[in-house]
Amino acid sequence: MSLGLDDEHMWRALDEARLAAAAGEVPVGAVVVRSHPERSEGSAVPGHPERSEGSAVGSRVVAVANNRTIRDQDPTAHAELLAIRAAARALGTWRLEGCTLYVTLEPCSMCAGAIVLARLDRVVFGAWDDKAGMAGSVGDLLRHPRLNHRPEVKGGLMEPEAAGLLRAFFAERRGVDPTPSPPLF
């Protein structure tokens, strides 16, 4: 069974989230992909020269990132913002039209604001965030009718995998077993 483009890119975002967790950061990963008509093969993924892009037909990865708030001592170093900044540098423009952001967690208000300002066409995310999510959970900044730009939003893609990474990370921090107990009946 072959993966769809959204699945393929979300797997890459999940890989970035795992890198964040390994570095002691909240496991959130992001990937910015630009749609294009031709296939692009063999170029390096920005920020990761050891990885080959090998993108699917119709898209090219232009940036990857994971959370770095602790490493950088920067409260704005969320995976989404770092990926948006890297994509803007790679493309030579702050307008990321024709691009999709894949992220493992529903964007917060800061990241949602940056997504709107960057004019991303689409946002695809994994786990919903009932405490800070601004793509439908707490609020919906991404699709607010009074804003000048509203990206298409697809939530819940690979939610079990994305939520599982977050649950395991925080359970380990709390010293709790992240695996749910089997039902008694």
Neighbour order of strands in the sheet with 29-35: 59-66, 29-35, 99-105, 122-127, 152-154
Q: Is 21 helix (H, G, I), strand (E, B) or coil?
A: helix
Residue 108 per-residue DSSP state: -
Active site residue 80: yes
The one-character DSSP state at 141 is G
Residue 144 to residue 171: CA distance in whole angstroms:
34
If we measure between CA atoms, which residue out of 136, 45, 50 comes closest to residue 87? 45
Angle at CA of residue 159, ends 45 and 72, nearest 5°: 50
Q: Please state, in angstroms and rounded to a whole number, the distance separating the CA atoms of residues 173 and 24.
A: 10
Q: Which residues neighbour 162 within 8 Å (Cβ) at sequence distance 6 or greater? A: 14, 17, 104, 105, 125, 126, 127
- Could you say which of 80, 106, 161, 172 is catalytic? 80
Active site residue ranges: 80
